[in-house]
């Protein structure tokens, strides 16, 4: 297999090829490292690459396989993740200067699970500072750039995750999603992304931003990859107080379930307000694909989503500034103007409004499930209502354009975080400008399996996920 053929494989396919000894873990790692080095000057996506450690781990993986020992379903697969997951003895940057000044005392639960499954981490990725930015700008390490066109934003906060997976320089990456940080880079960079149900994946050892809303998920080339990864990452963890105890289904096997007969909801309100005509057309085309697969599309009314968005903003802002308060008071110069401004605004949220926002969450989830999931199995919507902006257009720093930009970018993703429901982002085509566009599928709490079945069936009927940027 050539390097290009290896790099063109999905994470699931590469894992299968390594297991079958069709390609060695060492060869896969060498190809990945070379690709990472080649794209880095254009994308600024890697903060650090551990070449020697990664190659040593890959050689060990090959020796283990030669002895008949398979660590798990990701044995030998190279991966790099945004720099916010603790690795014992290593200091994570959090995409800025506010990373811990001491080495992490323990390894993040999600890294432990990937290690156990056999994945090999070869580096850490650029990200929005403190995961508190939806564009991919980074004023400390340089802006991360979109593999489809380096003038355009990657989306954030999992900026390096999206663009390296799209660029075929990474087989899959962890992401975190508090207000859209998996789905935005997935849609802007043309990858798949899963934001799981709140509590489905342990957050232990992942840098917190907003403990009521933080979720850890993954970005990958295909929905099938996302299913494989979530099956690895999900499950109870005593280290995370909100970790859910229920058993983890076989998401990978479930992704092959037929989708005929499922009902897909198209929202009558909110998600299409002011939506770009090309994006509307791509959403319609994706719904038509689902119809051809045997699903039914039904228009549904939504409850008062605008108020949820406001409440979500208050929760995130108030919790973020509570976590960062000491540093904001003592080391304000170590934050970029943008993150400092966003944190500062959290200090204006009254305690009663913060608590009311939390009280509203359960009421909103009940209303959403009653209104939507009594009629349909999933809700289908665009991830963003406008075409990918350029880095220059969105380079507002901490200036007066910041609040409006943040609100505009996360308007369609934040409701999923407020509700805490699982959301799958899937490529739905390209604009005339050649930039990818994604749809999102929102499911019932803990029903990631239905999302994977629909997304996998859609990718079986379309080719968007197979297209790679010409870097």
Residue 429 C-beta: closest distance to other proteins, Å: 30
Q: Is 88 a catalytic residue?
A: no
The yes or no reply on residue 333 touching other proteins (CB under 8 A) is: no
Query: Nearer to other proteins by C-beta: 276 or 344?
Result: 344
* Binding-residue pattern over the window 149 to 188 for other proteins, x denoting contact by CB under 8 A: ----------------------------------------
Query: Nearer to other proteins by C-beta: 178 or 357?
Result: 357
Query: Nearer to other proteins by C-beta: 151 or 366?
Result: 366
Q: Is 82 a catalytic residue?
A: yes
Sequence-separated (6 or more) residues with CB below 8 Å from residue 351 = none
Whole-angstrom distance, CA of residue 467 vs CA of residue 427:
10
Residue 20 C-beta: closest distance to other proteins, Å: 35
Residue 42 C-beta: closest distance to other proteins, Å: 34
Phi and psi angles of residue 258, each rounded to the nearest 5 degrees, phi first: -65, 150
Choose, from 24, 27, 82, 243, the residue flagged as catalytic. 82
Query: Nearer to other proteins by C-beta: 82 or 203?
Result: 203
Choose, from 10, 181, 243, 286, the residue flagged as catalytic. 181
Query: Nearer to other proteins by C-beta: 218 or 341?
Result: 341
**Interhelix angle 109-117/223-233, nearest 10 degrees:** 110
Residue 217 C-beta: closest distance to other proteins, Å: 17
The yes or no reply on residue 325 touching other proteins (CB under 8 A) is: yes
* Binding-residue pattern over the window 413 to 432 for other proteins, x denoting contact by CB under 8 A: -------x------------
157 cis-preceded (ω within 30 degrees of 0): yes
Residue 408 C-beta: closest distance to other proteins, Å: 13
Whole-angstrom distance, CA of residue 245 vs CA of residue 195:
18
The yes or no reply on residue 197 touching other proteins (CB under 8 A) is: yes
Cβ atoms within 10 A of the Cβ of 347, count? 12
Query: Nearer to other proteins by C-beta: 6 or 451?
Result: 451
Name residues contacting other proteins, limited to 338-377 (CB under 8 A).
340-341, 344-345, 347-350, 353, 355-366, 369, 373
Name residues contacting other proteins, limited to 198-217 (CB under 8 A).
198-199
The yes or no reply on residue 263 touching other proteins (CB under 8 A) is: no
Structure tokens at 334: 């170590």
Choose, from 157, 159, 313, 357, the residue flagged as catalytic. 157
The yes or no reply on residue 76 touching other proteins (CB under 8 A) is: no
Residue 398 C-beta: closest distance to other proteins, Å: 7
Q: Edge-to-edge strand order for the sheet containing 46-49?
A: 46-49, 120-125, 78-82
Is the alpha carbon torsion for 26, 31, 32, 33 positive or negative? positive
Q: Is 157 a catalytic residue?
A: yes
Number of chain residues interacting with other proteins (CB under 8 A): 54
The yes or no reply on residue 306 touching other proteins (CB under 8 A) is: yes
Question: Are β-strands 172-176 and 216-220 bridged in parallel, bridged antiparallel, or unpaired?
Answer: antiparallel
Residues of the shown chain interacting with other proteins in the complex, contacts defined by CB under 8 A: 197-199, 242, 246, 304, 306-311, 313-314, 317, 325, 328-329, 332, 340-341, 344-345, 347-350, 353, 355-366, 369, 373, 398-400, 402-403, 407, 420, 444-447, 450
Provide the annotated active-site residues: 82, 157, 181
């Amino acid at each position: 297999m050539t390097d290009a053929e290896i790099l063109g494989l999905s994470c699931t396919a590469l894992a299968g090829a390594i297991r079958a000894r069709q390609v060695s873990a060492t060869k896969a790692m060498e190809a990945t490292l070379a690709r990472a080095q080649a794209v880095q000057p254009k994308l600024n996506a890697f903060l650090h690459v551990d070449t020697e450690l990664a190659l040593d781990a890959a050689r060990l993986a090959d020796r283990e396989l030669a002895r008949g020992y398979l660590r798990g379903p990701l044995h030998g697969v190279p991966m790099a993740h945004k720099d916010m997951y603790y690795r014992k003895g290593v200091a994570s940057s959090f995409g800025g200067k506010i990373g811990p000044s001491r080495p992490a005392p323990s390894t993040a639960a999600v890294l432990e699970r990937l290690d156990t499954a056999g994945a090999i981490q070869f580096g850490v990725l650029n990200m929005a500072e403190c995961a508190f930015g939806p564009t991919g700008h980074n004023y400390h390490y340089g802006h991360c750039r979109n593999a489809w066109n380096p003038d355009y934003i990657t989306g954030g906060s999992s900026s390096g995750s999206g663009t390296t997976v799209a660029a075929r320089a990474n087989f899959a990456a962890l992401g975190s999603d508090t207000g859209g940080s998996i789905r935005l880079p997935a849609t802007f960079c043309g990858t798949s992304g899963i934001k799981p149900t709140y509590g489905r994946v342990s957050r232990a050892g992942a840098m917190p931003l907003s403990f009521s809303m933080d979720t850890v998920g993954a970005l990958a080339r295909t929905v099938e990859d996302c299913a494989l990864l979530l099956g690895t990452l999900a499950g109870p963890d005593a280290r995370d107080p909100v970790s859910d105890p229920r058993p983890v289904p076989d998401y990978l096997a479930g992704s092959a379930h037929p989708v005929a007969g499922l009902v897909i909801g198209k929202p009558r309100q909110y998600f299409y307000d002011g939506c770009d005509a090309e994006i509307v057309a791509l959403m319609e085309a994706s719904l038509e694909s689902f119809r051809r697969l045997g699903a039914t599309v039904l228009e549904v009314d939504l409850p008062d989503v605008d108020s949820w968005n406001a409440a979500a903003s208050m929760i995130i802002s108030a919790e973020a500034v509570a976590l960062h308060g000491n540093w904001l008071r003592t080391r304000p110069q170590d934050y970029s103007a943008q993150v400092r401004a966003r944190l500062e605004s959290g200090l204006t949220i009254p305690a009663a409004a913060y608590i009311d926002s939390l009280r509203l969450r359960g009421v909103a989830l009940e209303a959403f499930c009653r209104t939507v999931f009594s009629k349909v199995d999933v809700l289908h919507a665009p991830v963003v209502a406008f075409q990918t902006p350029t880095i220059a257009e969105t380079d507002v720093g901490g200036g007066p354009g910041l609040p409006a930009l943040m609100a505009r970018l996360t308007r369609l993703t934040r409701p999923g975080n407020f509700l805490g429901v699982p959301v799958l982002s899937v490529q739905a085509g390209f604009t005339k400008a050649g930039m990818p566009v994604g749809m999102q599928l929102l499911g019932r709490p803990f029903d990631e399996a239905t999302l994977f079945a629909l997304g996998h069936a859609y990718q079986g009927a379309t080719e968007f996920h197979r297209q790679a940027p010409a870097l």
